[in-house]
Amino acid sequence: MSEIENGGSPSTANLDVLLDIELPLTFRFGAARMTLDQVVGLDTGSIVELDRTVDQPVEVLVNGRVVALGEPLDVEGSLGIRILEIVSPRERLNRPAEGAA
C-alpha cells in the first residue's frame, strides 16, 4: 500500500527525512559593540551593557534567523527559555540573518 493510499502524501516522506537534520540553535539576550581595546580590557566581574532591557524577550535563532521570542527561566537549576511567540514566516524572511550586513 502506498503512502498516498494511507492518507499521506509523497512530500510527507521527504519531510520526515528533513526532520532529522540538526541545525544550530542560538538564544540572543542582546548585543553590544565594543572596541578591541574594550574587549581586551574585560576581566572577571566586568559588566557588558547590552542593547536590551531585562523585560524584552530573548530571540531564538535557528541557523542564524530569528524564529521565536521567549523569556529566560530557571529549570531545576538550569537556564531555560519559555517560547512566548513564534515569528511569522514573512517576518523571518524580512529580518536579516545573524551576521548579515
Secondary-structure class of domain 23-94 per CATH = mainly beta
Would you say the pTM of this structure is higher than 0.95? no
Q: For residue 73, which of 61, 58, 63 has the smallest C-alpha distance?
A: 58
pLDDT single digits (tens) 22-42 = 999 999 999 999 999 999 999
Q: Are 66 and 81 in contact, with CB atoms under 8 Å apart? A: no
Q: CA–CA separation, 68 vs 41, rounded Å?
A: 34
Cβ partners under 8 Å of residue 23, min gap 6:
62, 63
pLDDT single digits (tens) 45-90 = 999 999 999 899 999 999 889 999 999 999 999 999 999 999 988 8
pLDDT of residue 40: 97
Domain boundaries along the sequence of the chain: 23-94
Amino acid at 70: G
More confident position, 7 or 12: 12
Q: Does residue 31 sit in helix, strand or coil?
A: coil
